Amino acid sequence: MQSPVATTRHHAASRFGEFPQGPAFQRVALVLAAILSVIAFCWLAQEAAIEGEYIAMEAQWMATVFTWRSPLMDQIMLGYTRTHDLFMVAFILGFMGLHAYQRHWPQVKWIVAVVPGGMLANLGLKAFFHRARPEFDSMIHAHGYSFPSGHAIAAALVAGWLIYATCLSTRSLVWRSASVALGLSIAVSVAFSRVYLGVHYPMDVIAGALAGAAWILICLALKSLLDSDATE
């Protein structure tokens, strides 16, 4: 008869393929990815938000993006912004409801930590860097500071949780690939819309994506660590 420890190791090995130490390997990968995201964000913050090294290049990029404007594109990009808050609320409540229906109560707690928690962290980052918004050819009026982009952070958090929840619930490569494609399309389209509308510099949305990625990676690494401690 197998011991409980051996059984646990067997389940871990079968779940994580060739890695019997799967959860530990997973945590290391999450931490390393989070560290890289934080380093990239800090470098970008120093160069773009603090020293303003790329302001001329950013203005040139924005001028190029503005040449792509058309009535149809305007409506699409405005639609992203107008439905952003509603989509965020629907996403959070939808996943909380799904996890609650499946009785995955810890997941409910963690989605609150990831998405609303990440947005609160964004407010602190904006106040710290206090970078002014672009002052030319914006299509809408936006409040608050520009760096990092809150919309880009939110989109990265939503995309990250969507990918994580899908990978957690299925081993199908098709569904996992679809979640990655959908998540990336959400993050990229929302980030692009903010530059298109003239309310963010390009570096703002890149930094927002990096900050969102770092936050969710840190949360998932911590979740993995706490889950591991609870099963020992």
Between 59 and 231, name the one with better pLDDT: 59
User: Is pLDDT above 50 for 40?
Assistant: yes
pLDDT at 73: 92
pTM of the model: 0.79
Give the sign of the dihedral formed by CA 8, CA 10, CA 11, CA 17. positive
Residues of the chain above pLDDT 70, percent: 88
Computed from CA positions of residues 183, 189, 193, 194, in that sequence, does the dihedral angle turn out positive or negative?
A: positive
Range 126-132 average pLDDT: 90
